[in-house]
Amino acid sequence: MNEYIIKEKWAQLKGKAKEKWGELTNDDLDIIEGKRDQLAGKIREKYGCTKEEAEKEIDDWLNGQD
């Protein structure tokens, strides 16, 4: 799933992102607006993981959305 599709489907994906990363607030998700780099940054901030770990989590999560 490429970044364009993420932005286009963000309204649908927000709920699933909230389920996956419960520490993210609705305000966080509104600010992210489907931007992958911002999602990774918020995951790193909330969960204290590395950039690589956040990117892998996002990749795994997106692969399950197709």
The predicted-structure confidence for 19-66, as pLDDT tens digits, reads as follows: 999 999 999 999 999 899 999 999 999 999 999 999 999 999 988 876
Tell me the pTM. 0.86
Domain boundaries, the chain: 3-64
* Region for 30 from its dihedrals, namely left if φ exceeds 0, alpha if ψ lies in -120 to 50, beta otherwise: alpha
Residues of the chain by 3-state class (helix, strand, coil), percent to 5: 75, 0, 25
Domain covering 3-64 assigned CATH 2.30.30.60 in the classification: no
pLDDT tens, 5-27? Answer: 677 889 889 999 999 999 999 99
